[in-house]
Structure 1
Amino acid sequence: MTPTPFPRRPFSLFLSLGAALGLVFLAAGCQKDEKTASAEDDTNPHFHAATLQIQQQNFAEAAKEYEAALRANPAVTEAHYELGLLYGDHLGQPIAALYHFNQYLLDRPNGDNSQQAQARLNAAAVGFAATVPNSPIQNAEVFAKLQKDNQDLQHSLGAANQRVNELLSKLASSVKSESGPAPDASSTSVPALKDATSVATAESTATSAAAAAAPAEPAPRAVAVTPSVSPAPIVGNPAAAPAPVTSPTAAGGQPYTIVSGDTLWKIAKQFYPGHVADGIAKIKAANTDVLAEGKPLKIGTQIRIP
């Protein structure tokens, strides 16, 4: 008896059914991957990982996750907005923030975050301009700082001036209690003291200049007596009267006639510049017969300049 062969048709049908089910599951998995890759919330694994990194303040790692989401699917425009926030607020990269905010606005000009993206774009542009040397924004910040420093300095000077006036008032009160009435404290403020000092200095300078310009009789100096001139008589001894004095005019010298305004100092300065005191002594010694000690010069008197 020949055995009946096992039918093969049901087995092949089973294999076909398994292959079909595998294709169905594969297609479903692909559709699920595409759906998660295009998602812009925590169903996207990169968005979910980025959210966790932000909660742990790992902002650089969060940026990497959003960049990975864009590489997996460039259509996830929301990642550009999130990257703009990370680069602008936490990573200090204004140029990268400018790029991602601008990319978001290009892809979704009317998106849910378009207004915020535009405001962030403007803020990032200002932040970038502030980093450029000598930019208008940087110069404005410097100017504002200088203004504040100037105001602080004026306030400090005002407080110091008030303190000085208070000390002067206390000093005036102390002097008044010790030696009678004292000047009003308001008249002894710092500017007033400065003016009084200036006036006193000017008056002292003017007095010194006038004293230097006015002709003054120099102190008498010892004069060498020539052998031809007898010594002066001794007071109280009439018997020792001097012999007649020979006038020095006979001994020669340059003649000079006294005019209005002349003084011995002026004449000596004219003929003996640099040695006025010695010149006065020489002129007196040479003109003892016409020049009386202590009396003014007479206009028209002729003297000799030795």
Structure 2
Amino acid sequence: MRTRSVGAILFLSLGMLAGCDRMVTQRKTQLTRDADAKAEEGNYLEAINLYEAALDGSASAADVHYKLGLLYDDKMNDPLNALHHFKRFLTLTPTGKRAEEVKNFMKRDELTLLTKLSGDAIVTQTDAVRLRNENLNLRKQIDERWAQNKAAGDAGKTAPWPLPPNEKAKGVGKGRSYTVQRGDTLASISRKFYKTSSRWGKILTANPEILAKPADLKPGQTLRIP
């Protein structure tokens, strides 16, 4: 009789643990989806808060650390926090498919931090040129990554970032233009003109003859600002 009781208790305990695991997984999935949506809207601080809440220390959290690293790196201009999350990503998935990409991001961020902390005192001209070139290439990769995520989220829609005809005409009528500088991204240009990075899609749409995707942005280009 005692053996049966112990077995029943063990069975019930295992069932409760499995139920708890499912609840935790569902909550983490929902938090990640909500964070993705906030990032897509350009609400990066809220996205960061939601991603942080989804972290549980498990190997499956690697993807969340990757997304946090990208946000801090490209959107928040915070290489220190970006490095933290990229390192956590590599700790959880040291041989993952994104490992080499993340190592390159970390290399760039470490140089950026070194430059900031040293006041450029110990960074040679050769290193500075190499850093700028790496920065441009890696920013293109990040823009392409965000564009891919945007395209995946818009699957089934007729076209990304649609603008009403009257809004397009209004943008051209204002006649504003901007010459792209080194290190610029569509998000940073959007911040200069609109005080928010979330309207970078409008700039992309207003310049179809030179920008088919965010990665086409190059120094020296003249953009129409709607």
TM-score band, normalised by the shorter chain? 0.3 to 0.5
Taking structure 2 as the reference length, what is the TM-score of the superposition? 0.44
| More RCO (CA 8 Å, sep 6+) | 2
Taking structure 1 as the reference length, what is the TM-score of the superposition? 0.33
Q: Which has the larger radius of gyration?
A: 1
